[in-house]
Structure 1
């Protein structure tokens, strides 16, 4: 570590809570007189010794008993019983058998067992052996013999660490795995003593360490404070992992020469493959034959049931190292001449397939002893479609490292970053962008370069800013992403018009997510009327027409975009078509286009679009009223977004899940998803996600009868002002707002505002082709209409529902109509719409809404089986009394309960007196306690 920063030793183990709990249990049994043994196994650097230190400290704190501890000394491995001698020399007091006796003949394993029991005669004794696999064979055998015979009634316990458990078969074993990313990040903060580590640096260090604490400490120890803070570019490759890799390689030193050669070929063969996919067994077989390895070795190692135990494993036609650091250790440990020979051999074999030149070129690059401009050019030309983006990124990294020109190196790093982003590896993309100079002369290749031709030069402000902006679009403040993409478009326009249009479309998407209609139109307005991609033109013209009020013309243009996409498999065109269909209100068309976009992404990629495609399809399914399908697609999208580091997409998907849960329930799921969405939306300015999440909670409030809360949540979303919601969602949420305001008793107080809202909704209904809009408009009018007109409005709304379809919206209208009839004491007439509402809610799994319809139906005098709930209610109460009692337990006043249950305050008071009498309580506080119990 340079003098500018300091590495601190960790004071605690990170990411080992489960392992520490197992050790605590082991020590607890020892304290109770039940000794035993535990073998902790792990590859080098994963913290075996640190766990042993923690066990010793815990033992001292628990009982203060003696500790015998020894670590292996590799230089003494050939000296018989040297390990036992070191262990017994560590005893805190004299033993009945001197430690020196173990080096003489006559010392038996049974003698060791007696000595261990003697050590725990007064107080429980803990015996710790570190790296026991490196002990001499006789010491290992004696220790295993003694450890197997300690148990109930023994006051001594043996804790052993080893590379594997083969030497101590039959003993309980605990295998340490690599740290997860969260634990590794916490350890990194402890090692550096700072919390302001640059996120890109943190991601690169965590990735490089592969969950190995010692390797992470070694990497940090070679960085400066400026490098940790991201002010200076990290070195490539990162230094500091040599000791851990050497420790891994040391495990292979005793293997036969032929086996070591095969392992070198296996490690080298992984270099041209995507990370984590291993090597091709057929290629290794041919390489092994060419290298003169015998058929028995190749058949046993590559196609036998066990491979090379603990080192090389086969899965199908692929061969993997048991630990990712092993392959890196093999390449590092091999002499450079042997390593180059292995790569050249593989390059020759791969070169026999001229149609796939990239793998052979990667192997040639690995064998290159110095920068090679010609080879770098060949790699760049070969890194083209249809090769996967991950492979193209890896090839371009090697081309950059082989480049002799600084400008070319920067261009290739930028292109590698873009392909890493498209492959869904956002962490690698950011790390590569950090290597791209931001100066005005940085060249960047265009989006598509014909095979066999040299890339054109694009000045800085091109590909690297474009990639940064696209990363920010999915994982950063939306406003920052928009500005970065606008700047990138300006730099790309003279040289790469296709990608410049893509940048402007992405900038418009960022403006949409942030709820900025002016910025949205500004970004679209910068796109030429005749863009490079002809499928963009009708989309642009249609959106501009819709926003300009030329609704019919805009819908026709967007319909053209939709029809054109249906004859195309281009992912971008299909995603735009999904958005077009949602803009005009054609939910079914949006679902079809979204499903085709998802299929295109799954078949041809890029991987980075998978989460976005699932988000679009989930929202389309919501608009179509298929909430369970929306939930399934959103959950899959959430996993994809987390895997690819797209937090903004995760936020939007949580909002979609909250909307689905506001229908299907439970309310706790709706609240949890909404809270997560709001927590992510705030820092990144995602107004769309925040609006959807708030709408979802308000809809759940409506289902539960909390109309006042629902109205309070919805009011800012539909009113103009500084706290307004998203411009594209106002009209979708307005019917809920009208319903909540009227049921909460605010129709008189807010009469003018509600009337203005309904008039605006009427204009919007005339412009959209959303089939539910006419029914929702009639329902809003029914809620606000005088008594002599309301029934006709409800009848009109139901007639529109008959045309539009959709169980949920129709059931909501029937529920409101039934409530209206019951409030006018037309209970017999109210039962039919309420019964239909209940069936409709049950059909679409709207559990909370079905419970509300059930309560209304009972209040209308119909006997209905109660829906399944998670908790019970006190016996002796009628269904209506139970509802009143639950509202009281939630803290509602009589007037609030009356509004919630569509009753008069006098009726609520009557029910409440009966509840007090039945339950024998005298206050609302006592009632709340009884209901809680």
Structure 2
């Protein structure tokens, strides 16, 4: 009877974790673990780990650590008397129990700051994701990889979990797999890919009644949109994410959404607003953001605080952030730390710190963060009256922002280049140059519309909402100076024709050079 009640509480807790107050989910799952402990210890361990997931979502560090406290060694239940338990079933159960045990041990060590003890068990969970085919195990593998900062392994685990969930027809697990994929892409600085996964994840989460999962996807969408020229999209996703987060106690989703709103402020030249928002998240105090997320927002806060003349506040959070960078769980943190120190350093030290940050970015990868450092370095060089060096750094920043679709930050780089008297690429008056003013997403929409597609058809083709297409199309019209779809089609056509002519000319020149070389 206890086991039956335990499994009922387990189902209730998992359901609440996806679509209800996560504090209630935590209690239901703890009760399930206690009821299952005698007859089904492996299931009890799995329920306890799910309870830790609920405490994590709530941002309750003490409850998370208590739930992850060491328990008895994991074991697999023996088959019922008189039954011949299949070998593959026993093997699968043993694998599941080992994954749960290793994840629990590694997660607790990580939260205690013991990376030396966390790496091995979490690494085992990641490794099992290379051979396992069940979506639950693959989701644990992706989650463990994110904890370790191995974004490539997280992407692989998330992609395999998504494929497995789809193959099994498990609609409830698809949004979660997409959530891990979206987070991994964000951590890697690949915002367009994160947005694609989160858009699909949001649709499937809402369709399957998982409002908490939907809130996480909205937070990712807000972060992705915060680097683009879409303030209304950021605001819409932030508002929706916070609405669910506040009612259901989702501290993690709330912190991500608030960070997105602040980053949008910073990108649009509102550092005082950004510093006010981010200060609540990252400065010590009862209102500090989620224990596993707030450090990710520190580089944004330092930049905003320096611009807002809040240097002491910026310095206050850097000690914690230095520990986080040394921890090694965030591939971007070392470069971001050097950038933060450069922002606060006297002139004689800042140059070397910016260069060190760029070197670290080269090791970590990620176009967006490297471009942000190059932009700040270029601004610093311009203020120091070193225009030639500034032009190089700002040009690199502009190219990086354009490559990852960071339209609002690209506009900053263009403004700095114009202040230097250097015309950014694509600011000429011809059609090809004018198309160079568009972000990658805007250019895709412009080409679809030029081919005669309606806004709804464009939205379906690109997997976005018609509202997003409407917003981008208004930006396209303004940037190109056109007032109708017909003018837009003509402008795009002229640009494509000019590109073909230029390509043919380059091919002829290349052929001429080859012929000349052969003659010599």
Shared fold by TM > 0.5? yes
8 Å CA contact retained: 1:539, 1:576: yes
Aligned to 2:144: 580
- 1:593 CA drift (Å): 1.0
Matched length: 414
8 Å CA contact retained: 2:42, 2:74: no
**Distance verdict in 2 for CA 1:814–1:459, change over 3 Å:** closer
8 Å CA contact retained: 1:837, 1:853: yes
Please state if 1:535 is matched with 2:104: no
Please state if 1:716 is matched with 2:276: no
Aligned to 1:804: 364
- 1:699 CA drift (Å): 0.9
Please state if 1:845 is matched with 2:405: yes
Q: Distance in 2 between matches of 1:510 and 1:870?
A: 43
- 1:860 CA drift (Å): 1.6
8 Å CA contact retained: 1:461, 1:487: no
Aligned to 1:816: 376
TM-score normalised over the length of structure 1: 0.43
- 1:518 CA drift (Å): 1.0
Runs of 4+ with deviation above 4 angstroms: 870-873
Aligned to 1:31: none
State the secondary structure of the residue aligned to 2:98.
coil
Greater Rg over alpha carbons, structure = 1
TM-score normalised over the length of structure 2: 0.77
8 Å CA contact retained: 2:165, 2:171: yes
**Distance verdict in 2 for CA 1:559–1:460, change over 3 Å:** closer
| Structure 2 residue corresponding to 1:496, chosen from 32, 37, 40 | 40
Please state if 1:791 is matched with 2:355: no
Aligned to 2:116: 552
Aligned to 1:182: none
Q: Distance in 1 between matches of 2:421 and 2:414?
A: 11
Q: Distance in 2 between matches of 1:560 and 1:716?
A: 37
| Structure 2 residue corresponding to 1:863, chosen from 416, 420, 423 | 423
Correspondences of 1:308-457 after superposition (within 5 Å):
443=1
Correspondences of 1:183-222 after superposition (within 5 Å):
none
Segments of structure 1 that go 5 or more residues without pairing to the other structure are: 1-442, 444-457, 876-933
State the secondary structure of the residue aligned to 1:606.
coil
Q: More helix per residue: 1 or 2? A: 2
- 1:515 CA drift (Å): 0.5
| Structure 1 residue corresponding to 2:181, chosen from 604, 617, 633 | 617
Please state if 1:700 is matched with 2:264: yes
Please state if 1:835 is matched with 2:395: yes
Please state if 1:472 is matched with 2:16: yes
Q: Distance in 2 between matches of 1:775 and 1:769?
A: 13
**For each residue in 1:272-295, what CA deviation from the matched residue of structure 2 results, as whole angstroms up to 9, or x when unmatched?**
xxxxxxxxxxxxxxxxxxxxxxxx
Aligned to 1:603: 167
**Distance verdict in 2 for CA 1:689–1:531, change over 3 Å:** farther
8 Å CA contact retained: 1:485, 1:504: yes
Aligned to 1:682: 246
Q: Distance in 1 between matches of 2:69 and 2:388?
A: 59
- 1:858 CA drift (Å): 0.7
- 1:604 CA drift (Å): 2.1
Q: Distance in 1 between matches of 2:386 and 2:319?
A: 30
8 Å CA contact retained: 1:821, 1:830: yes
8 Å CA contact retained: 1:828, 1:860: no
| Structure 2 residue corresponding to 1:776, chosen from 327, 336, 346 | 336
- 1:872 CA drift (Å): 5.1
Correspondences of 1:246-285 after superposition (within 5 Å):
none
| Structure 2 residue corresponding to 1:508, chosen from 52, 60, 67 | 52
8 Å CA contact retained: 1:501, 1:531: no
